[in-house]
Amino acid sequence: MTDYLQKETGTSQYAVLANRIENAVTRHRTRRRSRRQLRRERERFSALFEEFPEPTFAYEYVDNEPIIREINDAFEETFGYDAEYAVGTRVDNLVVPPDQMTEAEEIDERVRAGKPVDRVMLRQTADGQRYFSLRNIPLSLEEGIDGFAVFTDIHERKRRERALERKNERLEQFVSIVSHDLRNPLNVASSRLTLARDNCDSDHLEYIANAHDRIEAIIDSTLTLARQGETVEETEVVNLPMVARRWWEGVPTGDTDLGALARKLPRTPSGMARRTLARRLARMRSNTAASR
């Protein structure tokens, strides 16, 4: 402390001096507490940074290039670079696939401008290319760090999304085939049946009309099932001969015997099989009734 007091007679100047000394000591102690508190906060942040479960790195922009200043353990494990190799390196050179470099440069420009980034991207890891969600945190805690970037692995989610997209594409193709490729010849057959009724009178034409109606109903049911979807979650063993007999008892088939057929039916897994068999038996009943 450097300060001056004008020399005077009496004791008042000593009281002023004592007061100034006390204030200086208080300020010094306050600064020491602030430094200790800041050091403890940095230590807690450093521990949090190291233990954070998602790959994270601290960056600084040098000559408009994002340079790695720190990495955590998750970054080392995911991307396969230790701190000695990664620190001081341009991050794009480590994790960006060659065909993704243009996109990476656009992201760098956005981060450099201080704008937030939350984007899905493909990055090169120690185990191959994987999808991540990247979020940046513009935060400077000390000189040499402009912010932090966090990678969240969403590869499995993207894989499921792509699988669902492919499934939906196949489903759309199936629906198109059923709704167009099957309906068109059915419409032609129905038109021909109308012309045939104008030219002749035959009991066979009614059976043909019933068959057309049945085909139309099958198409509608198939489209409904395809659009709603049905997933097999649990399976069970189904005694198909028993199910077949139970349904056949309600079918007015005269002398028709299902016994020989039922004895040949296997036991099969899947609770859905019971419903499928029921639909097929109902269809058989309808066809049998139509043919008698």
259: Cα within 13 Å, side-chain hemisphere: 2
| pLDDT number for residue 93 | 93
CA dihedral in degrees (269, 270, 273, 275; nearest 10)? 150
Mean pLDDT of 8-23: 59
What are the tens digits of pLDDT across the range 115-159? 888 999 999 999 999 999 999 888 766 677 888 899 999 999 999
Mean pLDDT of 71-99: 93
Answer for the pair 123, 151: CB distance below 8 angstroms, yes or no: yes
Q: Any residues with CB less than 8 A from the CB of 114 and at least 6 apart, and which?
A: 138
Proportion of the chain in helix, strand, coil states, percent, rounded to 5: 60, 15, 25
> Which domains, ranges and CATH numbers included, belong to the chain?
1-47 (no CATH), 52-153 (3.30.450.20), 159-230 (1.10.287), 231-292 (no CATH)
**Average per-residue pLDDT for the chain:** 76
| pLDDT number for residue 75 | 94
Which residue would you say has higher pLDDT here, 234 or 111?
Answer: 111
Instruction: Name the E strands within 236-275.
Output: 237-238, 268-269
Task: Assign 137 to helix, strand or coil.
Answer: strand
- Would you say residue 216 has pLDDT above 70? yes
Mean pLDDT of 166-187: 81
**DSSP state for residue 68 in the 8-state scheme:** E
| pLDDT number for residue 151 | 93
- Would you say residue 82 has pLDDT above 90? yes
- Would you say residue 92 has pLDDT above 90? yes
- Confidence bin at 200 (pLDDT 50/70/90): confident
Mean pLDDT of 18-22: 62
Mean pLDDT of 49-67: 87
- Confidence bin at 192 (pLDDT 50/70/90): confident
What are the tens digits of pLDDT across the range 252-275? 555 555 555 555 455 544 555 555
Best CA proximity match to 67, nearest among 136, 134, 144 = 144
- Confidence bin at 21 (pLDDT 50/70/90): low
| pLDDT number for residue 232 | 46
| pLDDT number for residue 115 | 85
Q: Any residues with CB less than 8 A from the CB of 238 and at least 6 apart, and which?
A: 267, 268, 269, 270, 271, 273, 274, 277
